[in-house]
Chains A and B, each alone.
Chain A
Amino acid sequence: MKHARYHVHHETHYQYSSTVSLAQQLAHLWPRPCAWQLCREQQLVVAPLPSQRTDGFDVFGNPLTRLAFERPHDALAVTAQLVVDVLAREARDFSASPAWEVARAALSYSSAPVGPDLLKACRFRFESPYVRLKKNFVAFADSCFPPGRPLLEGAQALMEKIFAEFTFDHTATQVATPLLEVLQQRRGVCQDFAHLMLACLRARGLAARYVSGYLLTQPPAGKPRLVGADASHAWVSVFCPVSGWVDFDPTNNVQPSLEHITLAWGRDFSDVSPLRGVILGGGHHDPEVRVTVIPVG
């Protein structure tokens, strides 16, 4: 199969325990244009009607919708509906990628002019709000990056290591759980694994970005697909000076292909949170999120 078509339904619902008098929200819910993906239909339904809505792009090139609510409201529902075609990506020969030290040197400052791709990759080499760089992350990935190992082989080994040593547990962490704690507990969710892999790569001077999107999860054999059982997903993309950006999904130990739908990328979750905002009032408000990814045709 060279391509797949999906219908994505992503619903976020806030029921506030007290009235919100003023709110602003930033939504990263529209897929960014990229070579292996085509968005055929997209719709973002917001209730209540926002006082202002602006559609544009953020600094990393992701579509971004700004919403402002200036009238009191007790609930907020944001629903994104997409029809997306995903194309198969070219397979790469990881053994042919340059040694990871060579990649690191290419990304480091040398007072020589820097091409646009390399400079763009440099945006994803450093600390960001959820990815602090500590020497523990260097140590954790040492076995994956022996001297001279091709960069992409190293990244694959790191992905395998995280997959093998960590347990998926959505009760173990919250959005703000520090990475060092994740490393210690060996538990977390896809955001944690993506952040951990980023930290391991960046702490050794490599460039890697956080990708937010959706994943088609297969229902267990013989059972119907549960609506809303699927969740938003996150994985990692590594920059190789020769091949460009190559995706890795440490939660599933796979290379994203036809089953991953890309929404946005940034330095970490904070750059591309699907919906984040500031509200005045509101009291208690845990969001209810439902994601459904259905193959079409």
Chain B
Amino acid sequence: MPDLLDRYPLTAGTYHEMLQSDGSVRPHWRRLFERLQRMTPAQLNHRQALLARQIQENGVTYNVYADPKGADRPWELDLLPNLIDASEWDALAEGVAQRATLLNAVLADLYGPQHLLSKGLLPPELVYGHSHFLWPCQGIQPPGGIYLHVYAVDLARTPDGRWWVTADRTQAPSGAGYALENRQIVSRAFPDLYRDLQVRHLTGFFRTLQETLSRLAPHGHEAPLVVVLTPGRFNESYFEHLYLARQLGFPLVEGGDLTVRDATVYLKTLGGLRRVHAILRRLDDVFCDPLELRTDSALGVPGLLQAVRLGRVLVANALGSGVLESPGLLGFLPKVNEHLFGEPLKLPSVATWWCGEPPVMDQALQKLDSLVFRAAFTSQSFAPVFGRDLSAKRRQALVERIQGRPYAYVAQEIAQLSQAPVWQADAGVLLPRAIGMRVYAVASEDGYRVLPGGLTRVAGMADAEVIAMQRGGASKDTWVLGEGAGGLEQWRAQRTLGLSDLVRRDPYLPSRVVENLFWFGRYCERCDGIARLLRIILARYVEDDDPQALAGAVALAERLKLLPEEGDLQSRLLVALLDPGWAFSLHANLRSLHGAAAQVRGKLSRENWHALVELQRDVETLDGDTPALGEVLDFLNRLLMSLAALSGFALDDMTRDEGWRFLMVGRRIERLQTLSTSLAAFVRQPAAFEAPNLGWLLELGNSSITYRSRYLAEPQLIPVLDLLLLDDQNPHAVLFQIKLLGSSLRRLADDLSTPRDKTLKPLIERLGHFDLGTLEYSLFGVASTQAVLEGLAELLGDIVEASARISDRLALRHFAHVDGVSHGTVSV
């Protein structure tokens, strides 16, 4: 293969991770480099493609807030890991651990005696002036004196080869889950190399996190219940929250799943309230308690702070820890470390001028051209400004702005980032890209442990100076070489589980998840029903050869309120199918389906979720102005297949716990309603009993094939009704569904020790006694046939009503405490 480094510029004054200044490959990169040289571009592309597929299959996404579609963007991962030599890493890790220890001590001081402020070691401006310094947390002592359970630091390597701190992440550091996911994927792309290089494993870090949270949680004699608190599925790193919760084995909850009673935190589960002992939060602390912190937060748990104050629950990281995420502090930390621990800080940080001291501000303004100016506080709306990019006018405005409130600004040296190789698939060469690295530490019984590796972030462009995932960068796995255990990582190497540990159901299923499973089930069936009826109409409209059947189907759709009233048939049909703004349209219902599914993503298998995403993508592509009707028909065919696949997943792919039972009850209630409503409406239109109408009725009940194979004849009323009403072996017959619903409800009631619902029993009996013979021997003529059919329609109406009552009762009994959003009140 041609030289990999053909287009790899070796700019002077830049540190290259892979190359020495003379252009030769650094020793710890040689194995990987030689390996790459032996491969053809096609092979490398193949691996990159495998990797991309893996990401898609694993559902690794990163949401971009500003994206109007709120789309899940696939996570971008480069094929090549960044390599770090063992001895270099050990020194770096020591520095990170030291820094974590220091920052924990600073938090303990700031939320305690504040000696650092009174001694003049830290400016009050950077603490009291920061909206993330939470006054209500002052004086709270967390279990074990640990404020920072997880800490992350952003590092950049300067031309001299040293790693410098660019930012501290103390609030709720994100990315460790992505690092783990990256590892799983990249190590499989180069399994032999991964083994040979003895790359250090990441899993110990997550095990330590589990242990720390369980150990520090105030759980008394109970088994500790730890939950992961997420802001919800619209958060940029929701995937990571899901992934971490799964890896750690902790339930993933939202604020609304928790409640505080008597200063104690509980999880609302199907089985009632369960005490929560620790919360690993991915929610910024100001949003955590609308009672005492930001009162406009709908994401938090009212009363949480008091539970923390009284030591009833552990929150990690401690509420208020975000105060340390100010770049203004960087310059003060070396002295603070000397003061608290009597030793120098091992990791240098990027040169920073905090403008709160007049002489420092003057210095910074003098060398404005070579610095980048930032807000000291996250609450400010001020994006970083590079001095050299400014016109004279904007320069003056910047100076005035800083002089107006100097303590709110810092200036920093522009970090020259090091470069690492990325594989450029289209060009078939390696290219250098600027990188930064986020490294994580976790509190353990004996000090901080550093994750051996981390999230290497890659700039979108070669000379980028700012790396942020929000701005479209990619990531790399980070391999720390040597003295690893060798072999692929054991993902769940824990203590041996014995018979006494066996668990057969999820005891911590939040009620919200169960409710959404129920609605997921209902919407699947609802979409199926709507799609079938509209397909019947659309197909006959397009073929235009059976006006009688078309009129009959349209009449039914009108009775079921599935067609809007205004306009010609074609435009009414298109609205009914594709207009998300019409509440009863197929599109609107598919969105509801997706909304419910997104709430229960943690309960769905990868394949199941993937099928849902495909389905959603399909409907969104049809959004155009006036799609061709044939195209829409194709879409409906695909949609019904996808919905059938979802039904298969539900039957074959999910554990049959209470959540699953609710899903199935939801499906059955919905199908029973659709069938009964349709049949009732149908039998009330005696003119419709002709073969063409009966034909599409069979299609609606998905029973055409069964009918044909049984009767080899045109559809006729009595056998069609038998098949769709009374056949207790046909899953699209009313009797089949109502019996199944009855037994599902019985099972659910028994599992949850609630009283059995007796609503359905008399209806099943009435339906079972319905005699089709009365239609055949209509002794008293047409009038009596109509009376019989009217009686049948009434019975079906009663079934619809009963199933609606059952649905309401289930909601009231099991989800009532889910409903309702807390809101604030204030009086003067």
A→B interface (CB under 8 Å)? 12, 14, 21-22, 24-26, 51-52, 58-60, 66, 68, 70, 108-116, 119, 122-123, 125-127, 129, 133, 135, 138, 175, 191, 203, 231-232, 267, 270-271, 273-282, 285, 287, 289
Q: Residues of A contacting B128 with CB < 8 Å?
A: 122-123, 125-126
Q: Mark B788-827, 1 if CB is under 8 A from A, else 0.
A: 0000000000000000000000000000000011111111
Bound CA span A203–B401, Å: 12
Q: How far is the CB of A203 from chain B (nearest CB, A)?
A: 8
Could you list some 23 contacts between A and B, CB below 8 A?
A: A24-B260, A24-B303, A51-B262, A52-B263, A110-B357, A111-B120, A111-B121, A112-B120, A116-B118, A119-B124, A125-B124, A125-B125, A125-B128, A126-B128, A138-B404, A273-B826, A274-B828, A279-B823, A279-B825, A280-B820, A281-B820, A282-B823, A282-B825
Query: Known pairs A70-B261, A109-B357, A110-B357. 13 more at Cβ < 8 A?
Result: A12-B827, A21-B820, A22-B259, A52-B263, A58-B136, A108-B125, A109-B124, A114-B118, A114-B120, A119-B118, A135-B404, A275-B827, A278-B295
Q: Residues of A contacting B247 with CB < 8 Å?
A: none
Q: Residues of A contacting B124 with CB < 8 Å?
A: 109, 114, 119, 122-123, 125
| Secondary structure call for the B interface | loop
Q: Are A26 and B404 CB-contacts (below 8 A) given A51-B262, A126-B128?
A: no
Q: Residues of A contacting B379 with CB < 8 Å?
A: 127
The closest CB in chain A to the CB of B115 belongs to A113
Q: Residues of B contacting A125 with CB < 8 Å?
A: 124-125, 128-129
Bound CA span A176–B828, Å: 12
Bound CA span A263–B260, Å: 29
Q: Residues of B contacting A109 with CB < 8 Å?
A: 120, 123-125, 356-357, 407
Is B475 in the interface zone, CB < 8 Å from A? Answer: no
B120–A289 touching, CB < 8 Å: no
Considering the complex of A and B, which 10 residue pairs feature the smallest CB-CB distances, nearest first?
A109-B123, A278-B302, A287-B827, A126-B129, A122-B124, A276-B826, A59-B138, A111-B120, A278-B291, A275-B827
Q: Are A26 and B135 CB-contacts (below 8 A) given A52-B263, A191-B828?
A: no
Bound CA span A135–B403, Å: 11
Bound CA span A271–B135, Å: 9
Q: Residues of B contacting A123 with CB < 8 Å?
A: 124, 128, 135
Q: How far is the CB of A37 from chain B (nearest CB, A)?
A: 20
Q: Residues of A contacting B306 with CB < 8 Å?
A: 66
Q: Are A279 and B822 CB-contacts (below 8 A) given A70-B261, A119-B114, A127-B129?
A: yes
Bound CA span A133–B380, Å: 11
Q: Mark B723-746, 1 if CB is under 8 A from A, else 0.
A: 000000000000000000000000
Is B447 in the interface zone, CB < 8 Å from A? Answer: no
Bound CA span A224–B254, Å: 55
Q: Residues of A contacting B119 with CB < 8 Å?
A: 113
B356–A127 touching, CB < 8 Å: no
Q: How far is the CB of A242 from chain B (nearest CB, A)?
A: 20
The closest CB in chain B to the CB of A21 belongs to B820
The closest CB in chain A to the CB of B401 belongs to A135
Is B504 in the interface zone, CB < 8 Å from A? Answer: no
B825–A285 touching, CB < 8 Å: yes
B827–A289 touching, CB < 8 Å: yes
Is B290 in the interface zone, CB < 8 Å from A? Answer: yes
B828–A273 touching, CB < 8 Å: yes
The closest CB in chain B to the CB of A278 belongs to B302
Q: Residues of B contacting A289 with CB < 8 Å?
A: 827-828
Is B405 in the interface zone, CB < 8 Å from A? Answer: yes
Q: Are A26 and B292 CB-contacts (below 8 A) given A275-B827, A278-B822?
A: yes
Bound CA span A278–B256, Å: 13
Bound CA span A280–B114, Å: 37
Partner of A24, one of B135, B136, B302, B357: B302
Number of A-B contacts defined by CB within 8 Å: 130
Q: Residues of B contacting A287 with CB < 8 Å?
A: 825, 827
B→A interface (CB under 8 Å)? 114, 117-121, 123-125, 128-129, 131, 135-136, 138-139, 259-263, 290-292, 294-295, 302-303, 306, 356-357, 379, 404-405, 407, 820-828
Q: How far is the CB of B678 from chain A (nearest CB, A)?
A: 37
A278–B820 touching, CB < 8 Å: no
Most B C-beta atoms less than 10 A away, residue of A51, A111, A281 = A111
Bound CA span A191–B826, Å: 14
Q: How far is the CB of A117 from chain B (nearest CB, A)?
A: 11
Bound CA span A92–B584, Å: 73
A14–B825 touching, CB < 8 Å: yes
Partner of A276, one of B136, B404, B824: B824
The closest CB in chain A to the CB of B405 belongs to A133
Bound CA span A126–B823, Å: 28
Q: Residues of B contacting A267 with CB < 8 Å?
A: 135
Q: Residues of A contacting B135 with CB < 8 Å?
A: 59-60, 123, 267, 271
Partner of A278, one of B114, B407, B825: B825
Bound CA span A25–B823, Å: 12
Q: How far is the CB of A134 from chain B (nearest CB, A)?
A: 9
Q: Residues of B contacting A111 with CB < 8 Å?
A: 120-121, 357
The closest CB in chain A to the CB of B302 belongs to A278
The closest CB in chain A to the CB of B135 belongs to A59
Bound CA span A111–B332, Å: 10
Q: Residues of B contacting A113 with CB < 8 Å?
A: 118-120
B114–A68 touching, CB < 8 Å: no
Bound CA span A273–B118, Å: 29
B822–A280 touching, CB < 8 Å: yes
B827–A270 touching, CB < 8 Å: no
Q: Residues of B contacting A175 with CB < 8 Å?
A: 826, 828
Most B C-beta atoms less than 10 A away, residue of A110, A133, A280, A287 = A280
B262–A68 touching, CB < 8 Å: yes
Q: How far is the CB of A137 from chain B (nearest CB, A)?
A: 11
